[in-house]
Structures are given as structure tokens and as C-alpha cells.
Structure 1
């Protein structure tokens, strides 16, 4: 299972976040501050330095955590493609702030010396993303290994589990706080799912990426003014005959519509994918990246 087209097509915000996370991890690692990152009980009632706050949001404290974390961030770019870069930026900000507040509350309530320094890194964003991953991304294939049943989503769950259990309580607590933040976003508290950044702010961040990203964002905005754009791209990219295909099941069409695609494009993609919902999702994502 993959997150759609390779690379960061229509995912400039994810690209910036991944690069920033890698750079901050390397910089803090070189300076020997990796082990001092992360929120602690003393930070709540003492002076919380700006460098430590930034590091706790972006920088992982070890190379294995960096590898698993960047892999998950890269995979979850599929959500930016579904809801758009503007709304995904709101999702990132909401996840980071809310998970941080939950961490502060947990440290203040627990007062547990074994978790006096939580793991640093974008745990809030990563584990908040598991909520839409669990609810919105369908399972397309299942298989058995030594009698144990797995699906094509199992590898993402295993990577998340490895990150969650990397330092026991110190990593489990930030992960749980991220899941709670993702749940609140899913519940649309304060109508957060409708929130957007002003266009000036969105255009500023778009200029931080390469010209090809700006071009793809412009095409995405143009797609909003032409409802049949995605449909035409599906037809152009996969010009096979539809007359001999079996009509897609209504529940499969509804699943793709719930992921943000229009109904007609979803139906045509399912026809071309022979009703394989995962392949149809990739077809739609590829059509958006043109």
C-alpha cells in the first residue's frame, strides 16, 4: 500500500515539515542537545526556552525515531492531497498545539518522575494522522503470515507502534496526546475542519517551496473552479473502455466520496481499476497531480 504518486506532488506543506524535521534533528544532534529536548515537568513551572520548544516539536532524539517518523510523515501526505494544503496546515497547527496542551496537562496531573522528560519530535501530528488513516483509508488486500492475518495497512500501524513504544512512557504519552488531538479534529470541535488560513499566509508558504510546487498548487486551485477537471484527467490518463466494466458498488463510491473526491470521478476511477478501491484512490490522486 502506498500514499499515492511518489514524491511530494500536491503536498508542499508536508515537504516543508519533513525537511524541517530532518534539519532540526541533525542540528540538535550535532550540538549534543538531543537528549535534553522534550517537554518536562520543570518546564511547566519554570522557564521554557524557545529553542527547546521548537526542538520538541520538530526534532527527533534518535536516528531510528527519525527514520520511522519521516516515513510516517511522508506517507500521511495523502491527507494533504485530499483536503488541500491550506486545510492541512490548519490540521498541523491544531494537532501540534492541542497535543502540546494535553502533554502539559498530563505532566501536571501525573507528576511521575519516570516521565519527567517526554520524547521530542512531531508525535502530535503523526499520531493525530492515525485517526483519518484508520477511518478514511480503506483496506484493499489481506494476507496471512504464520497464520496471523495482516492487511496492506499493517505496515503503517507497525511503524507507528515502533515509534509509540520507542521509549515506553516517555513516547507513549505524546502518542496518546496526538491521538486525542486527532480525535478532536475529527469531531470538528469549534468547527476546526472548516477553518482556513488567509490567502496571503497560504501564498507565503507556497513561495517557500520549489516552482513546480507552486505550479501544482495553482492547478489545484483551478480544479476548484472546474468541477469536471478530475474527471477529464481520469479519462485522459486511463483511456480504457468503460462499456465492458462492471458497475462499481455504491459503498465503494461512497468511500471515495468521503475522502474528498467527486462522485463522477470516483465512479470512473473504480471502473478503470476494476472496482479495486485502493487502485482507484491512486488513480484519482495521480489525476490531481497532473
Structure 2
């Protein structure tokens, strides 16, 4: 009896087809991933580009992003290294004689103002190596143990601010007190009081004439630099003062500050 060898036929796709399908799926996923990474949010990209465009440092570099307003329509300097005019440049280029003339004129005008307004007993103006020095007694600016500028002081400080607006000199404002101790909630010691008084004068000058705050330096010396021994009422009054030093640029900064 002949036995017929029966071959068993496998059902479904051949085995190589499974491997091929997996490979094609992976390739499809790979290209989908590349496509998703290549799509840029135009709105976000424009916001980033605009932020770079607003930076002065990038004004002279061509942008890789086309804008509705081309570069030639914007106010861009032809020379990328050209800077805006420095208000202090002309002052720096002045020679020593011209600087001295400016300071002498300022001193003369302040002294004239003090004489006309009969303020010479409360305020003095002089010139030394540091520059023009204005010494304002406490009663010309503040009430006792206070750092708020009184109304009567505003005209003179306004005059000083007007003069300072015409020159770029640095200004050091010193607060000084007498040796009598103070211990209040606002001013625990003479250090706080003297510093607050110097700061009040600077704040008034800046606000009154819109002066550059970088020109000023406030220092509170407390009672460490008396001009007279703290042994009498008159001497105590002399020590309670605010000093404005309108500095001479030729003087060493280490000595001024």
C-alpha cells in the first residue's frame, strides 16, 4: 500500500514578510519623527526673532528671518560701531583750564545766590582740591533728628540742581551729625540719620531736575568727622551738616570717594 506523503501547507503570510513589515513600520515612524521636528511654530519663531531685532547689539547684523519692514526702513545707523553721543564726552575732552572755569562760574553763582537771599550764615560755598564744596547746616535743611527736607530748603536745592544740570560732574553728598546719641525706631544711631539726610538731598536733586542718579554718591559719616569739638551748642550746630562736593575730575577719585 502506497503511502502518500502529505505536505502540510502553512497558512498566512510567509515569515520574511513579518520582518519586512516591522522594518517598514520603523522607517515610517522615523520619517514621521523627522517631519515633526522640522515643523516650526511660525508665531513663536517670529516672537523670538523680533526680540533679537529689538536688541541694539543685533541692529547691524542681517536677520535670517524676512520681516514685513525691511532693515532699510528702520532707523539703523550706517556705521555699526557708531555710538550715540555721550553727554560726558565733551566734558572729558575739555582741558583743565576749561573745567576750572566752569567750577569757578558755578561757585560764583552759588555765592551770589547765598548773598542775595541772606543764607550765608546757614550755607557756605568754597573751592578746594576736591572741587566746589557746599556746606549746609542742619537748620537750612532739616528739623532736629529728622531727615525730611523742609520747605524752606527747596529753593536753594532747586538752584543747585539747576546748576548741576548744566555740567556732568560727579557729586558726593555727605551727612554729618554731632556726638549726641540718637535712638529712635527710624534712626537707631547717628549712622542711619546721617545716611538718610544725605540720601534725602540726593533724591530731591534727582527728582527736581531729572538728573542722572549715577552721578551721585551718598555717604553717612555720623559723628566721626566733626569740624569743631562737641563741647558747646555752637560747635554741636556746626557739626550737624550736609556737605555737597561737586567734584573736580582732575582730582583723584580715591581721595574724593
TM, length-normalised to structure 1: 0.23
Higher helix share: 1
Higher strand share: 2
Larger Rg: 2
TM, length-normalised to structure 2: 0.25
> Which of the pair has the greater relative contact order for Cα pairs under 8 Å at 6+ separation?
1
